[in-house]
A and B are shown apart, each in its own frame.
Chain A
Amino acid sequence: MSDTAQLASDASSRDPSVGLRAVRALRMLVERLEALQVENAREQGWSWQEIAHCLEVSRQAVHKKYAGGRGLLRREK
């Protein structure tokens, strides 16, 4: 166990600064994983709809986040 982890379990697991730091790290991890997986899915020919379905978000949400919004007329690949 690293020093920080040791410290956390020794001191108090209810220390907000420790807990919030973990949340932040987890969010970074999730963001990176999501980008990798979305990119991979697109490379394998998945539609935005299929990706959105798996992530349980709207097609618009995933498209907006990863396809780069360039107006309504922008053609989707």
Chain B
Amino acid sequence: MFERFQQEARQAVVLAQENARQLRHHHIGTEHILLGLLAQPQSLSARVLDRHGLDHARAMQAVATLMPPQGGDDIDADALETIGIDLSAIKEKIEAAFGPGALDRPARPDRKGRLFGGRHIPFTPRAKKTLELSLREAIHLKHNHIADGHILLGVLREGEGLGARILAEADIDLTTLRQEIVTELG
């Protein structure tokens, strides 16, 4: 499915993960997908949402309020310092090899019971569904690619996640929004 994603749509998924990491969340939900869209101000979806008064900063605040950071995962850097270990130096080297945040979370078991390292943040079922729905939206509109606009349509179609809730709580009329995106997608 991802091979049909256009640049901004791909980037939205990457940024969703980055936003989840920044917010110290242990999952990537529809709210993070929405943030991933808004984090690209020039994208179709961000421009349409901006017209309705929702930008990345405002959405970020809304997400942080609805879903506080999940703590308890920090390695105690001060304690390590007492035995002469500089955690920041270790982090720097590990992140150079494995990417940002590689040491920020414990390894967790996936659904099959396999552990996987902290650099992966799993998608929630709703977030997965949203991405599948974006494909369906594209097919429905007879588009052979998935743009960021289709992902936003996916968030709306999914309808139950925090992403949709944030849109609704920003007093955006979801039917109007949907029509606007479809028009812009052409």
Contact = CB atoms under 8 A, between A and B. Distances in A.
Are A and B subunits of one complex? yes
B117 A4 contact: no
Interface string B151-186: 000000000000000000000000000000000000
Interface string B88-109: 0010001000100011011101
Given A38-B117, A66-B115, 9 more contacts: A21-B82, A28-B75, A29-B87, A32-B106, A35-B116, A35-B117, A68-B114, A69-B113, A70-B113
Interface of B: 75-83, 85, 87, 90, 94, 98, 102-103, 105-107, 109-110, 112-119
A21 B103 contact: no
A24 B79 contact: yes
22 contacts: A2-B78, A5-B81, A19-B82, A21-B76, A21-B82, A22-B79, A22-B82, A25-B76, A26-B85, A28-B75, A31-B106, A32-B105, A32-B106, A33-B103, A35-B107, A35-B117, A38-B117, A39-B117, A65-B115, A67-B114, A68-B112, A68-B115
B119 to A, nearest CB: 7
A6 B50 CA distance: 49
Given A29-B87, A65-B115, A68-B113, A36 B79 contact: no
Interface residues of A, number: 31
A3 B81 CA distance: 10
